[in-house]
Amino acid sequence: MNITGRIGLSLLALLLAACATQAPTQNPTPTVAVTATAAAEPTAHPMPAARPASFADNPIVYFIVTDRFRNGNRANDHSYGRLGDGQSEIGTFHGGDLAGITEKLREGYFRELGVNALWITAPYEQIHGWVVGGNKEFRHYAYHGYYPLDFTVLDRNMGTPEELREMVDTAHGQGIRVLFDVVMNHPGYADIATLSRYLPEVLWKGWQAHGLSDYHSWIDYNSFAFTGWWGPDWIRSGLPGYREGGRDDRTMQLAYLPDFRTEETKPVDLPPLLKKKPDTRAVPLPNTPVRGYLIKWLSDWVREYGIDGFRCDTAKHVELAAWRELKAASSEALAQWKAANPHKKIDDAPFWMTGEVWGHGVERSAYFDHGFDSLINFDFQDRPLEEPRQLNQLYSDYAARLREGGFDVLSYLSSHDTRLYRRDRMMAAATALLLAPGGVQIFYGDESGRQPGPASAGDPQQATRSDMNWATLDQALLAHFRKLGQFRARHRALARGSHRMLGEAPYTFGRIDERTGDRVVVALGADGTVSLPVGDLFREGERVRDAYSDASATVSAGRVRLDAAGAVVLLERAS
């Protein structure tokens, strides 16, 4: 989660808002240097029959901002009294929900892309109202799932428990895993709509008539009644009766959000807010500190619905030990769900976690020793992805680092926290991403040419979260993504294999996975009839197929001759 432009509701935030025009950025745009390393030249290998790659070997993750994807049930659009602003609708709920994802699953949309996991924004209950966004320019609701209110209850805008179960079961039936975005660093702000229901004593009389520009003036930030909110044992907030946020990554108030005291070992009771909330499923847990509650609440979604993994938000702002404990509890919960639902599970693979460690690139770090199977790769988006020599250097380096380090990353082109990749260069960029070593993440709409939406000067990332463009899909781009995605899904070698350059013009490379025997040869920039070197990756006389054009050819003198289509050739063994 990038928190650019968010305005907090602590006393400190109120004072700063009076003299600042823009809230600070979580981190500057990262520049992660990845030094090129020559990949070892493979020798001739035995050719065992390739077997399908497991998800952990070859993650192809489709990231959905659920509220902006598809509206499958209009009856839930205005839950908790949430309304549009009648203007730009930058930060309001737009109607997307779990039922909409299920519709596209049933249509086979994700299966055709080769996707094997859906990462969805956190679906548990968010703060009910809005806070001021950007430079006090728009109403910022929690449509993105990063302002939690109750971790134990599904947000009604997302749907019903039955709709969540149906979505998960439908995905599992297609071999597609479901990943929740989760946050353990902070709950949501104290918005007026939520306070009016659970803590009205901190609101000034007449708050019902408040406007956007004077939002903060209707909240009494000097009131000690705020201890009846989350409570000082649970959070740092700078409000009366609470500790201030610290100055380090673990204890700071990120964008003035209340900070969970996850480092504390002292047992706590339920937060006062949840004691007042009649529909919560939270119950007191004996001898349990703050992070123990959070871990129980999050792992219960796994135990009840069979959620396969988490994408962990703001990972560097939470203790490593907490992530390790979350992984252990969720792994146990998933094993229990699979034992109780053997007909619904995809396989017996363990629980999987990836994390957002802002600025992290392709290197092994302590996170991989504390529960993480993967981390978001902030390096890839800023790399040159069209020039073959530079792309070969990138591929060689990534492949060598991932094979030697025994870890994985999730590379992406666009994200909700940075920017959308240039739409006029998406064909080449999609090729580069879907052939990259390691795991990959497709941001919803990258495959369809979705254009940026409205934003504000104070929060430009909002433009990355526009509504999915179902009425204006770029069919040529979508077909390109589908061919590459399905090819990638079949070949563990692309994600985990050694990389070897075979030719310069057109740029041709091979990947081989020694563990499974899977191997591919790829050519980029091919035009017309081409003769491509395949080295020793395919045998003399072996029949191969171009998965892009569906043409077949026979290896002769270490080469394959065929007619290229779309400047891409994807060679695999012919079945």
**Would you name the residues annotated as active-site residues?**
313, 356
Residues 71, 72, 75, 81, CA torsion sign: negative
Contacts of 534 (CB under 8 A, 6+ apart): 502, 510, 521, 544, 555, 558, 559, 560, 571
Pick the closest to residue 437 from 522, 549, 370 (CA basis): 522
Query: How far is residue 260's CA from residue 237's CA, in Å, rounded to a whole number?
Result: 9
DSSP characters over 189-255: ---HHHHHHH-GGGBPTTGGG--STTGGGGB-TT-GGGGGTT-TTTEE-SSTTSPPP-SSTTTS-GG
Query: How far is residue 112's CA from residue 392's CA, in Å, rounded to a whole number?
Result: 28
Assigned token pair, 570: 């994807």
Helices (H), 265-319: 272-276, 290-305
Query: How far is residue 196's CA from residue 208's CA, in Å, rounded to a whole number?
Result: 9
**Cβ-contact 395, 509 below 8 angstroms:** yes
Pick the closest to residue 436 from 477, 392, 406 (CA basis): 392
Q: How far is CA 412 from the centre of its chain?
A: 10
At CA 63, angle to CA 567 and CA 111, rounded to 5? 60
DSSP characters over 144-186: TS-SEEEEEEE-TTT--HHHHHHHHHHHHHTT-EEEEEE--S-
